[in-house]
Amino acid sequence: MIKNLGGRKLSKTGSHRRRMLANMATSLLLQEKVRTTVPKAKELRGITDRIIVLARQGNQREVRRILRDKTVTQKLFEVLVPRYKDRPAGFTRLYRLGRRQGDGAEMSLVQLIT
């Protein structure tokens, strides 16, 4: 019996998908909101939540391996981890914005909960 255990492929290769989601997570953690399509936003939500949980556990090496940006890791450990220290999970919120003008793709806003 085949079970779908993986995430969305998003019409990308595995390496492209991993770097794209890492870059989007970097932007989300730095600017605290990102506008993207709904499938990418749903994948980004899980990645970002995992990164914040790793940072709360103090796993700095793994966070740096994923993000590869010193300013974002510094903000994550100094600003975001103290903000979410009492929150068990669910650090992001998804707002649906409607359809994009050019191709009709459904857009959403991913935002960190304050």
pLDDT of 79-105, one tens digit each?
A: 999 999 999 999 999 999 999 999 999
Domains of the chain: 14-112 (3.90.1030.10)
Give the relative orientation of helices 14-31 and 38-56 as an angle to the nearest 10 degrees: 70
Phi and psi at residue 99, to the nearest 5°: -100, 145
pLDDT higher than threshold 90 for residue 3: no
How many CB atoms lie under 10 A from the CB of residue 7? Answer: 13
pLDDT, one tens digit per residue, over 4-59 is: 777 889 888 999 999 999 999 999 999 999 999 999 999 999 999 999 999 999 99
Q: What is the mean pLDDT of residues 53-75?
A: 95
Residues near 94 by beta carbon (within 8 Å), at least 6 away in sequence = 38, 41, 42, 45, 108, 109, 110, 111
pLDDT at 2: 74
pTM value? Answer: 0.90
Q: Of the candidates 41, 17, 59, which has an alpha carbon nearest to the alpha carbon of residue 97?
A: 41
Side chain identity at residue 20, one-letter code: M
